[in-house]
Amino acid sequence: MRLVKSLHHGNRDPGYHGLPLIAFGTGMMGRNHVHISGHTTGLTDVVRNHLLVRDARTLLVVAHTDEYFTSQRCNLCQNQLRSVRRNGVTLYPVKHCGHCNISWNRNANASNNMFNILFNQLTIGARPGYLCRPPPQP
């Protein structure tokens, strides 16, 4: 194995016996090549199936996670993020938190929120309140 790859290939601590835990969003399961807002999505099922094969071989653990609100709420202060506009153009991948005064890449913010969801579900057994779906209306 090349030196560069070996430096980033797993945990080298001999006392570490944990498995990697992957939070995989359920929003695009079974929807390969679906057009969303004019953009073609990737092969999510190929990635998911590859992870599930590794999960079956106990090389990692895959946890399917509901992505509701993960890119729309700040993972630090839990407030609503707003879109960023520059020169009259909305920058789709960038969201801004007015409370923290931080601009987020929406995918980075969503992955942090998915970690928070998984961590809370494992430690206290519930999803964080700011990322819960509202109750159904009667």
Question: For the segment 80-112, what is each residue's pLDDT rounded down to a tens digit?
Answer: 999 999 999 999 899 999 999 999 999 999 999
Is 97 inside a domain boundary? Answer: yes
Rounded Cα distance between 24 and 66, Å, is 9
Q: Flag whether 1 is in a domain.
A: no
Q: CA-to-CA distance for 136 and 138, rounded, in angstroms?
A: 6
Q: Is position 13 within any domain? A: no
135 falls within a domain = no
Total-model pTM: 0.75
84 falls within a domain: yes
In a domain, residue 5? The reply is no
**Helix and strand totals (H; E) in the chain:** 3, 7
* CB neighbourhood size of 71 (10 A): 20
3 domain-assigned: no
Q: Which residues pair with 95 in a beta bridge?
A: 83, 104
Contact yes or no for 81/109 (Cβ under 8 A): yes
Which residue segment(s) compose the domain that 106 sits in?
21-32+41-129
**Structural domains of the chain, count:** 1
Helix (H, G, I), strand (E, B) or coil at 74: coil
Average pLDDT score over the chain? 82
Average pLDDT estimate for 52-79 = 90
